[in-house]
Amino acid sequence: MALPKRRFSRGRRDKRRANWKMRVGQSTTFPQCARVVQSHRVCPHCGTYRGKQLVTVRPPKKKGESA
């Protein structure tokens, strides 16, 4: 395997890595609960996907409540 003769400078290395940024996922307003959710996922607020109830969502616990 070939090895580089000289070390790459920080600027040259960083120019190559400049396009490694993360992308923001698609989001849409959900028709059942009118909240913004990620596309092609079960809604975490109402538990439906494509008009079918898939997950039962429990209300969040209060601070003083025990299980």
The residue behind tokens 């400078």 is 9
Task: Provide the mean pLDDT of the chain.
Answer: 87
DSSP code of 8?
A: P
Residues contacting 29, CB < 8 A, separation 6+: 35, 36, 37
Mean pLDDT, rounded, for 46-62:
87
Phi, psi of 16 (to 5 degrees): -70, -35
Per the CB < 8 A criterion, the answer to whether 53 and 47 are in contact is yes
Does the structure show a pLDDT above 80 at 37? Answer: yes
pTM of the entire predicted model: 0.52
Domain boundaries, the chain: 26-57
The proportion of the chain whose per-residue pLDDT surpasses 70, expressed as a percent, equals 96
Helix (H) or strand (E) holding 13: helix 10-16
